[in-house]
Homo-oligomer: A and B are copies of this chain.
Amino acid sequence: MSESTQPAAAAPAPAPKEKKASKKAAVQQFTLKTPKGTKDWADKDMVLRNAIFDTITKVFKRHGGVTIDTPVFELREILSGKYGEDSKLIYNLEDQGGELTSLRYDLTVPFARFVAMNGIQSIKRYHIAKVYRRDQPAMTKGRMREFYQCDFDIAGDYESMVPDAEILSIAVEGLTALGIQDFTIKVNHRKILDGLFQQCGVKEEDVRKVSSAVDKLDKLPWEDVKKEMVVDKNQPEEVADKIGEYVRIKGSFKEVIDKLSADEALMSNASASAGIKEMATAYNYLEAFGVTKYLSFDLSLARGLDYYTGIIYEAVTAASAPPPKPTDEELAAKAAEEKKNKKKSKSKAAEEDEDNSENVGVGSIMAGGRYDNLVGMFAGSSKKNASIPCVGVSFGVERLFSLIKARAGLVDQVRPTSTQVYVMAFGGGPTWDGFLKERMAVAKQLWLGGIEAEFLYKTKPKPQKQFEAAEKTGCPFSVILGQDEYTKGVVKVKELGLGEEADQGVDVPIAEVVDYLKAKLAARSNGVEEAVRLLTI
């Protein structure tokens, strides 16, 4: 679905220095790192990303979606011929005998393979999984080679534009559920684009290259795009000018449809008029779903992938566009700064991996469209499901992650663990054994009661160490086993994090501690749930 929802690479973890050779035979010497273009996810980032997945999954399920899981690698021939020029970015597995296989490049082609292979006539499926692209930093700086896609697709031969409208509703609901406020979904239609190029006199064989020039209108002024068409792509100037009249059209869905429907030249073209009629139909449904206010009909939106055949769309936010060009003063200041910092030596690898994210926006955060012929490429035209039409959307999860993580105060509130209770022991004197077994028994009681609990793996822990460990988890409660009280069958439950107004705690019989804590915890969410809740605050 989404050649352009690929995330920018995060700054790579600093490569640790080479260790000195050790005498121990078992010790091997490594540059300890993940492969180029990949990263580990951990800690709060992981919780936040899972919260994003959970939130989007809920939206997908709300629309009747089922999920599938396909292998990370496919037969090589399944992938070949699907991605045009980008096929060179496909990771191949070594030929170790047997079949030739490659890592999946996206989730759409495996989905089409799945639909064709199983003779499926209709399905709403979602799939959240990693995909692989051998992007070269030199060519496309800062792109990840392993990243997540998060797709919802509807396959089936349905009433025109009904699933398309629902997909756009899903896109809006997904972004809104993630607390994204200021997004715009640009929409266009491949048939309208094809028709207007024909109408303007572009030759069939030139459509793709003209289309890719038009797609740059979100980053370049029309004059630059026109120059590219005329000089680089050999289009007559009058053709370029005609195209320019059209592709600079953008505005509300209704306005643009009215404008195009009134354009006799365009309406005389079969492809364009079919596209315009479909968009008019879609408008009705999008109104019913209440999502038209998020849409901008933008004739410059072309989208790269070959396989789109109908409506296409992508969502952008203020952060999607590159920042304004720096002024001369800013550039001079930056150069001075860089000179100053030059003493800090940089490893070659770090330089090569360096992200130029300061010069680019995060790009589109959601993208997709209709692709009616992809399943047919697998099924063969002789088969009944030769051309199961499909429409889908892909959320740019890792771009969304960057936007969400940047929200003020959010990361501070995220907890890496779900721990709710820290089980401690207080006591002293020569006969005091630290109540390790007793802490274990209480922890077990809590676990069996469904309560997240930890204790210090130490025989005789000091109170201070236990409070520090509890604080590190951010858990709201402690259960304290006092040397004397515990033998009387009582523990103290204390609320943590109250600072100066320290809670004195409540004595609770051991047998009742699970119920007592469950009642206390009922109003609280935890872990990913907590983070999911934070997303929309």
**Chain B CB within 8 A of A75 CB:** yes
Other than the given A16-B117, A59-B447, A173-B447, 15 more pairs (CB < 8 A) read A19-B379, A20-B380, A26-B376, A27-B377, A34-B74, A34-B75, A35-B75, A41-B69, A42-B69, A47-B66, A64-B452, A92-B93, A159-B459, A165-B440, A288-B444
Known: A19-B383, A378-B30. A70 touches B289 (CB 8 A): no
**Chain B CB within 8 A of A46 CB:** yes
Select from chain B the residue with minimum beta-carbon distance to A129. Answer: B130
**Chain B CB within 8 A of A467 CB:** no
**Chain B CB within 8 A of A416 CB:** yes
Q: List residues 138-163 of chain A with CB under 8 A from any CB of chain B.
A: 146, 156, 158-159, 162-163
Q: Is there contact, CB below 8 Å, between B28 and A46? A: no
**Chain B CB within 8 A of A432 CB:** no
Select from chain B the residue with minimum beta-carbon distance to A461. Answer: B159
Min CB gap A57→B, angstroms: 9
Q: Is there contact, CB below 8 Å, between B32 and A116? A: yes
* Contact partners of A91 in chain B: CB under 8 A: 93-94, 96
**Chain B CB within 8 A of A98 CB:** yes
The 9 closest A-B pairs by CB, nearest first: A19-B380, A38-B71, A288-B440, A158-B457, A41-B69, A92-B94, A32-B117, A64-B454, A288-B437
Q: Is there contact, CB below 8 Å, between A63 and B447? A: yes
Min CB gap A483→B, angstroms: 17
- In the complex this chain forms, how many copies of it are found? 2
Q: Is there contact, CB below 8 Å, between B62 and A382? A: no
Interface residues as binary, A83-98 with B (CB distance below 8 Å gives 1, 0 otherwise): 0000000011111101
Partner of A162, one of B50, B81, B436, B441: B436
* Contact partners of A75 in chain B: CB under 8 A: 30-31, 33-35
Interface residue count on the A side (C-beta < 8 Å): 114
* Contact partners of A118 in chain B: CB under 8 A: 13, 42
Q: Is there contact, CB below 8 Å, between A290 and B35? A: no
Q: How far is the CA of A489 from the CA of B125 in the complex (A)?
A: 33
Q: How far is the CA of A39 from the CA of B69 in the complex (A)?
A: 9
Partner of A68, one of B23, B40, B94, B288: B40
Q: Is there contact, CB below 8 Å, between B62 and A451? A: yes
Q: List residues 425-474 of chain A with CB under 8 A from any CB of chain B.
A: 436-438, 440-441, 444, 447-448, 450-454, 457-459, 473
Select from chain B the residue with minimum beta-carbon distance to A60. Answer: B418
Partner of A26, one of B73, B98, B377: B377
* Contact partners of A378 in chain B: CB under 8 A: 28, 30, 32
Partner of A458, one of B34, B159, B381, B418: B159
Q: List residues 43-60 of chain A with CB under 8 A from any CB of chain B.
A: 43, 46-47, 49-50, 58-59
**Chain B CB within 8 A of A99 CB:** yes
* Contact partners of A58 in chain B: CB under 8 A: 450
Select from chain B the residue with minimum beta-carbon distance to A157. Answer: B457
Q: Is there contact, CB below 8 Å, between B92 and A69? A: no
**Chain B CB within 8 A of A304 CB:** no
Name, among A34, A39, A63, the residue most crowded by chain B CB atoms within 10 Å (CB to CB): A34
Q: Is there contact, CB below 8 Å, between B382 and A146? A: no
Q: How far is the CA of A26 from the CA of B527 in the complex (A)?
A: 49
* Contact partners of A289 in chain B: CB under 8 A: 440-441, 444
* Contact partners of A257 in chain B: CB under 8 A: none
**Chain B CB within 8 A of A169 CB:** yes
**Chain B CB within 8 A of A373 CB:** yes
* Contact partners of A96 in chain B: CB under 8 A: 91-92, 134
Select from chain B the residue with minimum beta-carbon distance to A42. Answer: B68
Q: Is there contact, CB below 8 Å, between B99 and A36? A: yes
Select from chain B the residue with minimum beta-carbon distance to A50. Answer: B67
Min CB gap A458→B, angstroms: 6
Min CB gap A439→B, angstroms: 8
Q: Is there contact, CB below 8 Å, between B43 and A159? A: no
**Chain B CB within 8 A of A219 CB:** no
Q: Is there contact, CB below 8 Å, between A69 and B40? A: yes
**Chain B CB within 8 A of A181 CB:** no
**Chain B CB within 8 A of A22 CB:** yes
Min CB gap A92→B, angstroms: 4
Q: How far is the CA of A269 from the CA of B343 in the complex (A)?
A: 59
Min CB gap A150→B, angstroms: 14
Q: How far is the CA of A118 from the CA of B417 in the complex (A)?
A: 19
**Chain B CB within 8 A of A284 CB:** yes
Q: Is there contact, CB below 8 Å, between A284 and B437? A: yes
Q: Is there contact, CB below 8 Å, between A34 and B70? A: yes
Q: Is there contact, CB below 8 Å, between B447 and A40? A: no
Q: Is there contact, CB below 8 Å, between A32 and B163? A: no
